[in-house]
Amino acid sequence: MKIYINGEFVEKEDAKISVFDYGLLYGDGIFEGIKAYNGRIFRLKEHLYRLWASAKAISLTIPVQQKEMEKSIIKTLLINKLSDAYVRLIVTRGCGDLGLDPEKCTTPPSIIIIADNISFYSEEFYDKGIKVISASTRRTRHDSLSPNIKSLNYLNNILAKMEATRGGANEAVMLNHEGFVAECTGDNIFVVKNGILYTPPGSEGALVGITRDAVIELAKNKLKISVKEERITMYNIYTADECFLTGTAAEIVPVISVDSREISDGKPGKLTIKLVREFKNLTRLTGTPIK
Ligand code: PXG
């Protein structure tokens, strides 16, 4: 496996950056998780747009243009002969001394691209659905650090994910500081009630996911289902007809149990299954060609 680091391709064992990089010292950097399907990179422009927005928000100047980044991602996939892959794009602040001031960084930001053929959940989870719990760890307040900044500091999410794993579940629902549902640790959440699809708006402390947007478009335009971006509580999840999570890594995963309560009959819902099918078509047929 060849990894892209600052314009060069190196073997996995040699893919290293300095211990003085602020990405390691402080989680000072940003990332994107992107997926390629069937020789096409899904919503690449949207991912790059979000990366540049994250960079702007933390005053980090990415040392290349978006077009060049696009080419480097394509090159990484080609060199590794991958047509279906998960791509992790990372931009760190660069190297400084052991102080908090990024003005003191003496090297430009590092750009790292890793591409691999991995899936985050096993096939069984997509067929049978997953279990989630509500985490006691609250989602970081948006007025403290916007969840839309995909920063290298994911401790908030990791703490909640550990709660899920320790509680025998696969994912954790994270509430915002007011107790309303924000999202999961690496995915957005949707519920279906009486044929209407609900998901929390970005203002509730969620990252406004690219998969979330795609699912909303498919629901409205293909399946003619009405979608409401509204505040929801754990009660709405407990009593939902269907529930599923969306994310680049997870795609669309049905949820069959929340805090030990079965959702409906404890099986993936009909609408969820339809959306999974539509999403599969969309990812297979659209996207930036790897060439
Ligand atoms: N919420 C959070 C907190 C995320 O990190 C999503 C929602 C879904 O967004 P997208 O745009 O992917 O639909 C994310 C995405 C990882 C990983 O390695 C995390 C994400 C994406 C890919 C990989 O855990 N986060």
Facing residues of 171 across strands? 132
- Span from the CA of 205 to the centroid of ligand 1 (angstroms): 14
Q: Which ligand 1 atom sits closest to the C-alpha of 147?
A: 3
- Beta carbons of 24 and 17 less than 8 angstroms apart: yes
- Over residues 214-243, the mean pLDDT reads 98
- Residue 106 CA to ligand 1 center (angstroms) comes to 30
- Name the residue among 256, 258, 275, 276 with its Cα closest to residue 266: 256
Active site residue 150: yes
- Cα of 82 from ligand 1 centre, angstroms: 21
Residues 6+ positions from 30 with CB-CB distance below 8 Å: 51, 54, 55, 58, 60, 90, 91, 149, 150, 151, 152
Q: What is the pLDDT of residue 113?
A: 98
Can you give the pLDDT at residue 205?
94
Closest CA to ligand 1's atom 24: 186
Separation between Cα atoms, residue 231 and residue 185, nearest integer Å: 18
What mean pLDDT is predicted for residues 244-255? 97
Strands (E), 69-219: 85-92, 111-116, 130-134, 171-175, 181-184, 188-193, 196-199
**Mutation pick for ligand 1 pocket among 32, 248, 282 (CB with most ligand atoms within 8 Å):** 248
**Active-site pick, 2, 35, 150, 161:** 150
Residue nearest to atom 5 of ligand 1 (CA): 186
Mutation choice for ligand 1 from 42, 187, 253, CB with most ligand atoms inside 8 A? 187
Domains for the chain: give ranges and CATH numbers: 2-116 (3.30.470.10), 123-284 (3.20.10.10)
Q: Which residues line ligand 1 (CB under 6 A)?
A: 33, 157, 183, 186-188, 207, 209-212, 246-249
Q: What is the pLDDT of residue 188?
A: 98
Q: How many beta carbons lie within 10 A of that of residue 205, not counting itself?
A: 25
Ligand 1 centroid–CA 103 distance in Å is: 29
**Residues 133, 258: Cα–Cα separation, whole Å:** 5
For residue 139, the CA-to-ligand 1 centroid distance in Å is 14
- Please name the residue whose Cα sits nearest to atom 7 of ligand 1: 187
pLDDT digits (tens, 9 = 90+) for 98-149: 989 999 999 999 999 999 998 878 888 899 999 999 999 999 999 999 999 9
Contact 11, 2 (CB under 8 A): yes
pLDDT at site 32: 98
The pLDDT of residue 281 is: 96
Alpha carbons 39 and 176: distance in angstroms, whole number: 38
Q: What are phi and psi of 225, to 5 degrees?
A: -105, 145
Which atom of ligand 1 sits closest to the CA of residue 33?
22
Name the residue with the closest Cα to ligand 1, atom 2: 186
pTM, full prediction: 0.96
List the residue whose alpha carbon is closest to atom 19 of ligand 1. 186
Mean confidence (pLDDT) of the chain: 97
For a pLDDT cut of 70, what percent of the chain falls above it? 100
* pLDDT recorded at residue 29: 98
